[in-house]
Amino acid sequence: MGFTRTETVIPRRIGSGDLALATAITAAMLTTSGSAATNRSLDGADLEHGLQHARQLSRAFQTVAAGVAPSVVSIEVTDNHPYHQAGGGSGGMRAVPGAQLPPRQGGATGVVIDADGLIVTNNHVVEGADEILVEFHDGTRVAGTIVGKDMETDLAVIRVEEADLVPARFGDSNAAEVGEWILAVGSPFGLNQTVTAGIISAVGRDEMGLARYESFIQTDAAINPGNSGGPLVNLDGEVIGINTAIRSSSGGSNGIGFAIPSSIVNRVSTSIVRSGRVERGWLGITVQPMNEELARTFGYEGGEAVLVSSVIPHTPAEEVGLTPGDIITSIGGQPTENPIDLVREIGRHDPDSELSIEYVREGTTRVVSARLIERPRDLESFLRGTSDETSIGLLVREIEEEDIKDLELASDRGVLVEGVEGSGPADRAGLQPGDVIRRVDGTPMSSVDEFQQVIRKAVKAGEVIRMLVERENLTQFILVDPDAG
């Protein structure tokens, strides 16, 4: 069993009918009738009473479906990438020069979020699309263009040159409760404006491996290929989620679907419209889970928390004095029981936001307030840039368990040289990738953060830096002159 994204492929095939609405009405009748239905046959009054409740629920579904219909669109995407047709014999597959397959096409759903032509859908719907065609509930078909995409939440915003559209009303997904009736609207298997009913099965589903920032609403409403990007709507007619995936062994609905909460949709779509991308706050630390064994070594007896493993130079974390070994118990007032909690809480704040951080160091609880910066779009380049700012042309990282085995190191103390800038001070001094720097100016190195601090201090003072370096099980002292090169 695996996860299936819910867009569909054209040509369309008509599947079996959806029985969710009938099931809902039947459930309402049985619930209303209660124990009487189990102990005796329904008399005319009981039956009519049950039917009244069923009709009320049915009318609620009808009202919601009619109200949201003008805001739900069908999306067809075309990928004109020049795929080469396969040929050859004996079961082999060979490319035939110049032979091209027809364009790939797929279909999904979207939701109007602005009267002037903005529509939200899933990133995986429009990823790689060369052409986008949007069809409204009245049959109007127009071309769409991508405003921006966010792979980390699987959301995207597209624009159509249409005015006076009917934007959907968005509700508060944080108020959604398990057991609440909802409708899913979309284009499963290319069948536009299909409505299915069900309940919220769970909230806050994460660690699904579908996106970096996850807090899905789970539902048993029938969601199938083509529903991607469509709304999950409560009985107040408010969109509380955007359908994104199903868990299925067959590719069809097994009653386990997932929707991105409206709280995430609102923030991401607003940021995309404003700047073409999602601007996320960033603290500048790497963390790891805190298990019992680690907690004992730090003398920590509290509940679940996360352990700071490194602090990146020139970031808010460094500015407020966080160091490796600090144990973060809450951030922004929210408990941080695991790294996912921490990443999610930081990521939902805008750059320049103030965020309180509660942490434990050497048994003492401390609280600091950090002003976030924007999360780098290319973290690797950012890290390389912070390393180069030491002016010695050296990129280092923490020593990992596999490094000890692969390089036959005596211990994990120190930092591992990952890159050396050609003709820079470190290169002139003879440092090489794979070297392990054990000490700098007599100070044992235990983290990248500590290494960077010592190097910056020496560079600022204009001093020649003395390093104790291990290479191929032998250690030697190497002098690095920051002014060299």
**CA atoms of 158 and 123, how far apart (whole Å):** 10
With residue 110 as reference, give the H or E element that holds it: strand 104-114
**CA atoms of 132 and 125, how far apart (whole Å):** 10
In contact, 221 and 258? CB cutoff 8 Å = no
CA 303 distance to own-chain centroid: 26
In contact, 307 and 286? CB cutoff 8 Å = no
CA 394 distance to own-chain centroid: 32
Q: Report the DSSP beta bridge partners of residue 216.
A: 205
Alpha-helix runs per DSSP H in 276-378: 292-297, 316-319, 339-347
**CA atoms of 318 and 322, how far apart (whole Å):** 6
* Peptide bond just before 261 cis, omega within 30 deg: no
String of DSSP letters for 7-69: -EESSP---PPP-HHHHHHHHHHHHHHTTHHHHS---HHHHHHHHHHHHHHHHHHHHHHHHHG
CA distances from 473 to 162, 381, 433 (A): 69, 31, 15
Which residue numbers are catalytic?
124, 154, 228
In contact, 159 and 142? CB cutoff 8 Å = no
Nearest to 307 by CA among 291, 292, 289: 289
Phi, psi for 368 (deg, rounded to 5):
-130, 165
CA distances from 371 to 353, 366, 374 (A): 5, 17, 10
Q: β-strands 436-440, 465-471: how paired?
A: antiparallel
String of DSSP letters for 163-209: -S--PPPB--GGG--TT-EEEEEE-GGG-TTEEEEEEEEEEEE--SS
Six token digits for residue 52:
């009244």
* Peptide bond just before 82 cis, omega within 30 deg: no
Six token digits for residue 53:
């409740």
Six token digits for residue 288:
């790891």
In this structure, how many other beta carbons lie within 10 angstroms of the beta carbon of residue 205? Answer: 16
